Structure 1
Amino acid sequence: MTDRDSDITATVVRERTRLVNFIRRRIGDPDDAEDILQDVFSEFVQAYRLPAPIEQASAWLFRAARNRIIDRFRKKKELPLVDLDGDEEEAGSEYRLDLALPAHDAGPEALYARAVLLEAL
């Protein structure tokens, strides 16, 4: 293990508990808090390996976590399709996946896009 890798490991071990408590106080869902923690550590590893390493790792981690939390709150909440209209029967017919896909007769590019999307689903 290189010196940089051991510095990263030591920082993660040292700051993990404080950082996860910081995030959990601000995020209600434990799964979301864990996602943010993993994102912050991933970003930390990438930034630490840059030519100009991070001098104050603890401050950097908390700032990155705070930014991720803010981004999470700015993100618009996703609503289930049935809640958009209120009437479940009408909502089911109005929001059909096959209507959102490119048409069969729209040309070869649309046909290819349709096949790729269906395969991904």
Structure 2
Amino acid sequence: MAEDTVGSDASVRRRGRGPTRATDIWNLPSREKIPITLNELGQGIGENTKKLVKFMGTIARNGDLCPLGFKQWTSFPTPRKDIWNLVLGKFEIDNKGRKWVLSSIGKKMERLQVKLESHVV
């Protein structure tokens, strides 16, 4: 009887894609901004929205800007306006997108906390 060897090598670990760093956006010259188009709900649309979402993810994972342990934005130590100004420094986006950007960063932070808590327990 032949032994099935498929998947038997448990020591070989598949390499994931790793965290997004968005270095192209973080290293963007201060005079250069990426334009973002918004829909009627203030949500980003168009090709540059991917870059903004990627950048928001890096903000949410940045422990200096978004420290862990806060369940709500209201108890958050970094003022939301500072995070919004950071986004405005890299992207040309209308103020009607502020709510979408900040809530998206908040959701990304919540997902990160849940993910980290599930690994600890």
Asked if Structure 1 and Structure 2 have the same fold, meaning a TM-score greater than 0.5 normalized by the shorter chain, the answer is no
Greater length-normalized contact order (CA 8 Å, ≥ 6 residues apart): 2
TM-score by length of structure 2 reads 0.30
TM-score by length of structure 1 reads 0.30
Hey, which of these two has a bigger chunk of strand by percent?
2
